[in-house]
Each structure stands twice: as C-alpha cells, then as structure tokens.
C-alpha cells in the first residue's frame, strides 16, 4: 500500500490546493471529489486487468496484447514528462525561501538535476539510481499530517471568529471542466501496483491500490475542505510555490517543513520514474535501446520542457500523457469484459472511461 500511496501523495499535494482554491473557489472540494472519483474508476479498470491477467495469462486476445504494448509505450512517455514535472517543482521549491528564487534560477537548478541523474544513470545504471532514491515516505506523510493539523487549528479559528469565506469560482463551464482534465496527474500514481507482480500476488496488488486510493482521497478531501474557505480572493498570487505563501499564514514553521517534503518527494519520484522509463523502453525495444540511452532521451526532452514551458503547462502535458495510458488500460478492460460477456456494468463503464480519457487527452488545459 505504501508504494502506490507514496506516488499518489506527492507533487499533487504541493500544487493542487492553491490551483483548486483560486480556480474553483467554494466549489473546490467538489472538483477534488470528481478528480478522486475519476482516478478511482480508472484504478478499477487497472485492478480488473490485474485480476484478468492472473487468470488468463496465456489466453488474451491479439487486440488486448497490442493494446498492452501501446499502454506500456504511453506509460514510458508519461514517465518522461512526469520527471520534468517533478524536477521543475524541485527547482521552484528548492530556491523558494532564498534570495535566488525566480524562474531563471529555478530552471538552472532543474537543469543541473537532470544532468546529475543522467550522469549517474549513464555511468552506474539502475542500481545507482535506486540508491539515490531513499526519501522516506513516512517523513513525507508526517509533514503532511503536520500541515493538516495546522490547517485544522487555522480553520477552527476562522469558524469561531466568523472568518470563513465563500470565494466565487474563476473557472466555470467548459473552461472549468477542461482545467480539471489537465489536473489528473495530481492524483496519479496508483498504477504502480500493476507492476509489482514479481513481489506480490494479484489480490495483494489489487488491495494495495484500492486502499491507497481510498486513503489518499480522504487526505485530499480533508486538505481541500480546510483550505478552500479560509483565504479571501486576491490575498495570494497563484504560482507553483503558492502553497508556501499560504502556509506561512497558518504557521511559520510549515513553509520550511513543506520545502523539505517537496525536495525529498520530487527527487525521489523523479529518480523512480527515470528508472521506470528506462526499464520500460529497454524492454519494449527488446533490449536494443539500453536504459542509459533512454535516460539521455529523457534528459533531452526534460531540458526542452524546462526552458520552453512553465510548471502548470508541464502538469497539463503530464495529465494528458497519463490519461492516454489510463485510456488504453480501460480499453483493455473493456475488451476483456466484452469477451467474457460482462455487458451490463463493466463493459459500459470501461468503454465510458476510454472515451473520457480521450476527452482529457484532447481538451485538457493548463492553469493560466
């Protein structure tokens, strides 16, 4: 359960609160609930595939096999973009409490991190990258618990002093829906249970994903519920480190803790996805493209994104990439359900999720 939970509760926690509060105002918890529900439904398709593969390893249709290959390629590509997302957040948060903060300096730090990961991965391979990834999940979750505790006291004070606010949404209608499409990556990470088959059986992986999604959804709902009604509109500007400006009002110690959590979480996640992308590409090219060459490709794309797009744009790109992967997994589940004559619930659900993922890929937008 800790493995998918560590992936779900990470970067999204740092940027999602300010984005939802600013964009959707008093309706932010409803949008958060929709994101969690959408992620849980996509997770159900992957859980169905885990169970189906375990039962029918050698009895899958040609369509399902080809969709599986396409899904693996899409996941490898999504990892490439997500590494840019993680390291750009690292750059922003790493300098956020220093005089050197700013977009140019943050991009320089991000570029340096890309080169460090490339050099280590090129020279020493996956095992060295694994050793670099030692950020403790328990420490990160403890800091989040501290943040929620501070918010509970702050929220209670606002209630007692009649200081709660109901901000109107800035994004409504189709623009609001398209923005929500572009945020799916903030609740992504549950799919890691799908790829733990060498260590855990199917029922264990299915439970780990379900429990991780339920717990993370509970944490996100409490977080957004506490955050959405305590800051008047216009008090804070929206940028990638806006959560720091919010938390300094709640408790002076929280920004330092948040930066510590951000740095460990972003670096750990970036290293994990770099390794995952390299391993997938190595496998999909049938050992023709070595992981270190995949690391070089990832670094090149990451540097291009760093210097040509802001963090919010990269979030939207990553959301669309993961939506493509989830859509392919939903299509696999739909094909399997139809083949097994599960016409009344599973097949329509997974076909609907496939269509939803295509809408996200086409129409997902970034925060302006």
- Report residue 269's pLDDT band, with 50, 70 and 90 as the boundaries: confident
Tally the domains of the chain.
1
Please check whether residue 207 lies inside any domain of the structure. yes
* Helix, coil or strand: residue 271: helix
Please check whether residue 354 lies inside any domain of the structure. yes
Domain that holds residue 341: 2-363
| Low-confidence winner among 54-68, 77-91, 204-218 (lowest mean pLDDT) | 54-68
Rounded-to-integer distance, Cα 248 and Cα 233, Å: 17
- Report residue 137's pLDDT band, with 50, 70 and 90 as the boundaries: low
Q: Mean pLDDT throughout 168-188? A: 90
- Report residue 134's pLDDT band, with 50, 70 and 90 as the boundaries: very low
End-to-end Cα separation, the chain, in angstroms: 35
Rounded-to-integer distance, Cα 309 and Cα 314, Å: 7
Please check whether residue 335 lies inside any domain of the structure. yes
Residues 186/189/190/193 CA torsion (nearest 10 deg): 180
Handedness of CA 272, 273, 278, 283 (dihedral sign): positive
Range ranked top by mean pLDDT from 128-132, 190-194, 261-265, 272-276: 190-194
Q: Mean pLDDT throughout 9-15? A: 77
Cut 0.85: pTM above it: yes
Please check whether residue 258 lies inside any domain of the structure. yes
* Helix, coil or strand: residue 344: coil
* More reliable by pLDDT, 314 or 35: 35
Please check whether residue 106 lies inside any domain of the structure. yes
Write down the pLDDT at residue 135. Answer: 46
Write down the pLDDT at residue 359. Answer: 94
Please check whether residue 204 lies inside any domain of the structure. yes
- Give, in order, the Cα–Cα distances in Å from 261 to each of 254, 337, 368: 10, 41, 26
> Which pair of tokens denotes residue 110?
């991000």
Per-residue pLDDT reduced to its tens digit, 229-266: 988 887 767 777 778 878 888 878 888 887 877 777 77
Packed helices 346-363 and 173-181: angle between N→C axes, nearest 10 degrees: 100
Domain containing residue 304: CATH number: 1.20.1740.10
The closest of 334, 325, 335 to 360, measured between CA atoms, is: 325
* Helix, coil or strand: residue 301: helix
Cβ density class 69-96: b for 16+ within 10 Å, e for less:
eebbbbbbbbbbbbbbbbbbbbbbbbbb
Write down the pLDDT at residue 46. Answer: 93
Rounded-to-integer distance, Cα 268 and Cα 137, Å: 10
- Residue 244 contacts residue 258 (beta carbons within 8 Å): yes
Distance of CA 183 to the CA centre of its chain: 8
Write down the pLDDT at residue 357. Answer: 94
* More reliable by pLDDT, 53 or 50: 50
Write down the pLDDT at residue 104. Answer: 86
Rounded-to-integer distance, Cα 274 and Cα 86, Å: 11
Please check whether residue 368 lies inside any domain of the structure. no
| Low-confidence winner among 3-17, 107-121, 142-156 (lowest mean pLDDT) | 3-17
Please check whether residue 221 lies inside any domain of the structure. yes
């Amino acid at each position: 359960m800790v493995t998918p939970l560590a992936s779900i509760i990470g970067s999204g926690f740092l940027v999602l609160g300010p984005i939802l509060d600013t964009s959707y105002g008093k309706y932010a918890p409803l949008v958060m609930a929709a994101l969690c529900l959408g992620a849980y439904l996509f997770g159900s398709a992957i859980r169905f595939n885990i169970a189906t593969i375990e039962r029918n390893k050698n009895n899958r249709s040609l369509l399902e096999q080809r969709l599986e290959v396409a899904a693996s390629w899409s996941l490898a590509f999504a990892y490439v973009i997500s590494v840019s997302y993680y390291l750009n957040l690292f750059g922003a948060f790493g300098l956020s409490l220093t005089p050197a903060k700013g977009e140019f300096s943050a991009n320089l730090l991000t570029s340096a991190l890309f080169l460090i990961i490339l050099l280590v991965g090129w020279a020493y391979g996956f095992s060295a990258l694994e050793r670099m990834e030692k950020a403790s999940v328990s420490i990160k979750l403890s800091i989040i618990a501290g943040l929620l505790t501070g918010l509970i006291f702050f929220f209670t004070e606002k209630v007692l002093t009649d200081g709660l606010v109901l901000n109107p949404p800035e994004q409504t209608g189709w623009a609001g829906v398209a923005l929500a499409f572009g945020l799916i990556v903030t609740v992504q990470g549950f799919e890691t249970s799908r790829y733990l088959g060498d260590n855990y059986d199917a029922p264990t992986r299915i439970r780990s994903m379900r429990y991780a999604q339920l717990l993370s959804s509970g944490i996100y709902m409490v977080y957004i519920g506490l955050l959405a009604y305590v800051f008047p509109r216009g008090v804070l500007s929206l940028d990638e480190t806006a959560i720091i400006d919010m938390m300094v009002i709640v408790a002076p110690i929280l920004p330092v803790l948040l930066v510590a959590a951000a740095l460990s979480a972003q670096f750990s996640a970036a290293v994990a996805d770099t390794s995952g992308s390299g391993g997938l590409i190595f496998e999909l090219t049938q050992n023709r493209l070595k992981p270190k060459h995949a690391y070089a490709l990832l670094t090149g794309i990451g540097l291009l994104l760093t210097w040509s797009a802001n963090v919010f744009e990269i979030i939207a790109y990553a959301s669309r990439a993961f939506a493509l992967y989830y859509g392919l997994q939903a299509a696999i589940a739909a094909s399997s359900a139809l083949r097994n004559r599960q016409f009344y619930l599973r097949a329509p659900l997974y076909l609907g999720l496939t269509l939803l993922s295509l809408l996200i890929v086409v129409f997902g937008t970034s925060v302006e």
